[in-house]
């Protein structure tokens, strides 16, 4: 380390004081002339007064007494010895959370094993180092300890380790009887872990809530965030009645899942649940599918005729998906079923009775269709006693990570894999708009589990369109902005060129530098093995 210069600020000088070093530093001018001494006590006082940007020349003294030096050195040594004592090591290393201890000036004294496990940072990289230096090196993004020194209060913040992993740090100052900060003890947790715990807690809460667990309804893997939970609660309530239900929402949001849940919680649970997607078959065939037909009712009909879905659903529940696509002429026939429970098969004049509960769904706005004359108003009001507005996934982002985790678990089991996702990948996918909602999410996870060759799925493995849509949060510093640009360029280059040699060439850096950077950013060559050149 360079000698202390009088123009250095207090903040810059702090890094020169480490537990292993002398407690008094000599200060030299730019011409290397001895100016005086700077004691760790003087620095500590300056920090306590918030004078971090003042030049140290203001605190330099021409002489220091030997007892002072001995006393300071010995108290520092005692502290050091305490943290190195076997009992202290055993206690801190037994903790599940990471522990990070600095002295009152922000110099690292101790990290426990859990901290090393969570962050991947080794003892020798930080012990004796000042937190400010660790930020400068890019090892950590911010320091809760320095914030605690500045504010003299406990501080909790989210820290990024080596620009990738995110952890949550809570720092607490330990004060002497004179009110000086002696050290700062920080506890550290992985955010991914917190998300998992929250997910577990949500499931626990669900078990205690008035909504019966969905897996008992044959609906395994259901993720219930606050929005979905309140839909299920309402579904549970209306299930007990025969009220007509209209489910509105985009494709893939879970409308048919809710319909099945309502059926499973109703008095018809032991009867059949039938489903017809009115948009999936041509208009002229919907009538035959729904109401059935007599022998020879139309060209191409089965000789023996056919029982329609409506009749098959007798005593049970009929779920009519995409009801907005039901042709107008069939809407009259459906109205008769809804109002009088009566219908006629195609080609028959015999009126039949049926006892079904009808649940309908649509991704279109039925009220608008009514205004445009495309949907019968009387049918609309009949079907729409209770409306469920099922929100798109982008409006219930808190469910995205639990859904990703749940589907990862499901497909890992199905394909006998052990894939995990980086925190950044979770963050990326949380910000995506998911036009295909949960169906799209499930498809993506399955694809990633099947196609990636490594166990950790990262942003670089996502399909190209997903990599471009991520709305970046504002970078917090120039270093942050540069780091992001570097990562994004590398990620794009390896996606495009598929070999580290070609990607390095395109980026104008050496192959080994590229490999090192890929390691740092946890990037991989797409989801396929590197091409053989």
Cβ closest to ligand ATP, residue 169 vs residue 290: 290
Residue nearer to ligand ATP on the CB measure, 257 or 326? 257
Beta bridge partners, 158, equal 168
For residues 464 and 492, is the Cβ–Cβ distance under 8 A? Answer: no
Q: Determine the 3-state secondary structure of 373 from DSSP.
A: coil
**Among the residue ranges 22-30, 166-174, 250-258, 348-356, the one whose residues contact ligand ATP (CB under 6 A):** 250-258
**Residue 1 to residues 4, 21, 69, 242, Cα–Cα distance (Å):** 9, 11, 21, 80
The percent of the chain in helix, strand and coil, each rounded to the nearest 5, is 45, 20, 35
Distance CA 130, CA 408 (A): 40
Q: Does 524 bind ligand ATP (CB under 6 A)?
A: no
d(CA 94, CA 113): 8
Q: Does 439 sit near ligand ATP (CB under 6 A)?
A: yes
Burial 89-125, CB ≥16 within 10 A → b, else e: eeebeeeebbbbbbbbbbbbbbbbebbbebbebeeee
Strand ranges inside 342-460, DSSP E: 342-344, 351-353, 357-362, 386-389, 420-421, 456-457
Which residues, 51 to 110, sit near ligand ATP by CB under 6 A? none
Q: Between residues 8 and 253, which has the closer beta carbon with respect to ligand ATP?
A: 253
Shortest distance, CB of residue 231 to ligand ATP, whole angstroms?
9
Cβ neighbours of residue 364 closer than 8 Å, sequence gap 6 or more:
322, 324, 325
Q: Which of residues 387-416 bind ligand ATP (CB under 6 A)?
A: 403
Q: Write down the least CB distance from residue 197 to ligand ATP, Å.
A: 19
**256 binding ligand ATP? (CB under 6 A):** yes
Number of H helices, E strands in the chain: 23, 18
Q: Is 263 in the site for ligand ATP (CB under 6 A)?
A: no
Separation of alpha carbons 425 and 44, rounded Å? 42
Half-sphere exposure in the Cβ direction for 107 (13 Å, CA)? 23
Q: Of residues 2-61, which lie at the interface with ligand ATP (CB under 6 A)? A: none
Which residue from 20, 200, 215, 221 is in contact with ligand ATP, where contact means CB under 6 A? 221
Q: What region does 253 belong to: left with phi over 0, alpha with psi -120 to 50, or beta?
A: alpha
Task: Name which position in 44, 253, 313, 337 contacts ligand ATP (CB under 6 A).
Answer: 253
The DSSP secondary-structure symbol of 101 reads E
254 lines the binding site for ligand ATP (CB under 6 A): yes
Binding piece for ligand ATP, criterion CB under 6 A, among 69-77, 244-252, 346-354, 497-505: 244-252
Among 126, 257, 286, 310, binds ligand ATP (CB under 6 A): 257
Nearer to ligand ATP, 236 or 321 (CB): 321
Q: In whole angstroms, give the CA distance from residue 246 to residue 238.
A: 12
Which range binds ligand ATP by CB under 6 A, 18-26, 329-337, 373-381, 434-442? 434-442
> If binding is defined by CB under 6 A, does position 438 make contact with ligand ATP?
yes
Which residue in 114, 423, 442, 448 binds ligand ATP (CB under 6 A)? 442
Using DSSP's 3-state secondary structure scheme, residue 56 falls into helix
| Residues that contact ligand ATP, how many (by CB under 6 A) | 18
Q: To the nearest whole angstrom, how small is the minimum distance from the Cβ of residue 277 to ligand ATP?
A: 7
Both tokens of 91, joined, read 């206690």
| Least Cβ distance, residue 450 to ligand ATP (angstroms) | 17
Candidate segments 42-50, 337-345, 438-446, 450-458, binder of ligand ATP by CB under 6 A: 438-446
Which residue is nearest to ligand ATP, using beta carbons?
254
Judged by CB under 6 A, the residue of 141, 145, 192, 228 near ligand ATP is: 228
**From the CB of 140, what's the least distance to ligand ATP, in Å?**
36
User: Whose Cβ is closer to ligand ATP: residue 73's or residue 222's?
Assistant: 222
Least distance in angstroms from the C-beta of 248 to ligand ATP: 10
Q: CA-CA distance, 210 to 378, in Å (whole number)?
A: 35
Q: Which residues of 425-459 are buried (b: 16+ CB within 10 A; e: fewer)?
A: bbbbbbbbebebbbebbbebbbebbeebeeeebbb
Smallest distance, Å, CB 218 to ligand ATP?
Answer: 11
Contacts of 399 by beta carbon, 8 Å cutoff, 6+ apart: 223, 225, 227, 228, 393
Shortest distance (Å) from residue 501 CB to ligand ATP: 42
- Residue 294 CA to residue 369 CA, distance in Å, equals 32
Give the one residue of 52, 168, 222, 272 binding ligand ATP; rule: CB under 6 A.
222
Which of 181, 241, 183 lies closest to 45, judged by CA?
A: 181
Residue from 155, 223, 262, 429 touching ligand ATP (CB under 6 A): that is 223
Query: Which residue, 169 or 278, is less far from ligand ATP as judged by CB?
Result: 278
**Nearer Cβ to ligand ATP (185/206):** 206
Which residues of the shown chain bind ligand ATP in the complex (CB under 6 A)?
A: 221-223, 228, 249, 251-257, 321, 363, 403, 438-439, 442
């Amino acid at each position: 380390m360079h000698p202390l210069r009088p123009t250095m600020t207090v903040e810059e000088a702090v890094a020169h004081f480490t537990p292993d070093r002398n407690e008094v530093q000599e200060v030299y001018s730019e011409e290397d002339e001895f100016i005086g001494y700077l004691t760790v006590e003087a620095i500590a006082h300056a920090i306590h007064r918030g004078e971090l940007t003042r030049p140290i020349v203001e605190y330099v003294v021409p002489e220091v007494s030997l007892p002072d030096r001995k006393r300071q050195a010995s108290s520092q040594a005692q502290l050091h010895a305490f943290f190195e004592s076997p009992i202290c090591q055993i206690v801190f290393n037994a903790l599940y959370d990471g522990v990070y201890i600095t002295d009152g000036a922000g110099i690292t004294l101790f990290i426990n094993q859990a901290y090393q496990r969570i962050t991947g940072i080794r003892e020798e990289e930080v012990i004796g180092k000042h937190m400010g230096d660790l930020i400068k090196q890019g090892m950590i993004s911010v320091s809760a300890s320095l914030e605690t020194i500045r504010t003299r209060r406990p501080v909790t913040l989210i820290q990024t380790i080596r620009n990738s992993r995110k952890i949550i740090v809570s720092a607490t100052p330990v004060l002497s009887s004179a009110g000086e900060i002696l050290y700062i003890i920080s506890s550290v947790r992985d955010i991914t872990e917190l998300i998992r715990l929250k997910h577990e807690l949500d499931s626990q809460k669900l078990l205690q809530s008035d909504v019966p667990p969905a897996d008992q309804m044959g609906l395994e893997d259901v993720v219930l965030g606050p929005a979905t939970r309140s839909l299920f609660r309402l579904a549970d309530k209306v299930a007990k009645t025969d009220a007509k239900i209209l489910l509105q929402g985009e494709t893939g949001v879970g409308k048919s899942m809710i319909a099945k849940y309502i059926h499973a919680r109703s008095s018809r649970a032991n009867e059949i649940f039938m489903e017809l997607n009115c948009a999936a078959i041509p208009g002229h065939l919907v009538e035959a599918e729904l109401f059935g037909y007599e022998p020879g009712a139309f060209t191409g009909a089965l000789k023996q005729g056919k029982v329609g879905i409506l009749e098959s659903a007798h005593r049970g529940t009929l779920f009519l998906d995409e009801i907005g696509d039901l042709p107008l002429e069939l809407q009259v026939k459906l109205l008769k079923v809804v109002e009088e429970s009566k219908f006629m098969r195609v080609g028959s004049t015999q009126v039949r009775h049926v006892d079904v509960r009808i649940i309908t769904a649509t991704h279109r706005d039925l009220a608008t269709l009514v205004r445009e004359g495309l949907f019968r108003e009387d049918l609309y009001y009949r079907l729409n006693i209770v409306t469920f507005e099922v929100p798109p996934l982008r409006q219930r982002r808190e469910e995205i990570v639990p859904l990703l985790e749940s589907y990862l678990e499901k497909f890992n089991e199905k394909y006998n894999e052990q894939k995990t996702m980086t925190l950044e990948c979770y963050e990326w996918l949380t910000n995506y708009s998911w036009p295909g909602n949960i169906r799209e999410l499930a498809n993506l996870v399955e694809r990633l589990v099947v196609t990636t060759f490594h166990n950790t799925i990262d942003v670089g493995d996502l399909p190209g369109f997903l990599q471009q849509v991520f709305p970046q949060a504002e970078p917090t510093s120039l270093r942050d902005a540069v780091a992001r640009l570097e990562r994004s360029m590398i990620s794009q280059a390896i996606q495009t060129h598929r070999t580290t040699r070609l990607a390095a060439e395109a980026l104008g850096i050496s192959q080994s530098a590229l490999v090192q950077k890929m390691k740092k950013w946890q990037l991989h060559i797409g989801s396929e093995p590197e091409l053989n050149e």
